[in-house]
Amino acid sequence: MDNILLAIGLLLVNSLFLVATVLQLPGNWLMVTAVGGFILWGGEPSLFSIETLVALAIIAILAEIIEFVAGAAGTRMSGGSRKGALWALAGSLAGGILGTFLLPIPIVGSVFGACGGAFLGALFGERKEGKNMRDSLRSGGGAATGRLLGIVGKIGGGILIWTIATIASFWP
């Protein structure tokens, strides 16, 4: 009975952390930390194995990598330069932070800011490289699309972490 209550508690906590991921906060890592806490907190038998925790951490790492490089990859795939891709990364980071404060609508401000920042960063980087406006705009569009897909990928990783943790907690 105690393990069922713990599993229900983890399900509720991880649901909040999944919402945090959607809000562009480190919810995936909070879910992994919650599972690690359950392992440390213990109780016999433990709800989770170390292998489950490692698998969840690997998923979180992969989701972060996908989110981080997607904007740069979008720039490169639309014909952009390496410098444009680097500017897209920097613009995405700055835009995500600024968007959160300038457009204080949960999720929307961060996503618009990150995608807009990736677009502007790639556009600036390509123009600085001497590319014409049309090619620079194409690279910027690729950066914004890639960044959006990266956000979706990170949320997908969060859903996978939530699902695995939930299944493992109810059926150890």
Is 90 exceeded by the pLDDT of residue 49?
Answer: no
The values of phi and psi at residue 130, to 5°, are: 95, 10
Is 90 exceeded by the pLDDT of residue 157?
Answer: yes
pTM score, whole prediction = 0.82
Average pLDDT of span 65-80: 87
Please give the structure tokens belonging to residue 12: 């509720």
**Domain chopping of the chain, boundaries:** 2-170
**What is the three-class DSSP state of 19?**
helix
Give 102-133 pLDDT, tens digit per residue: 988 877 888 899 999 999 999 999 999 999 99
CB 146 within 8 A of CB 16: no
Look at residue 46 in the predicted model and tell me its pLDDT: 67
Measured distance CA(28)–CA(25) in Å, rounded: 8
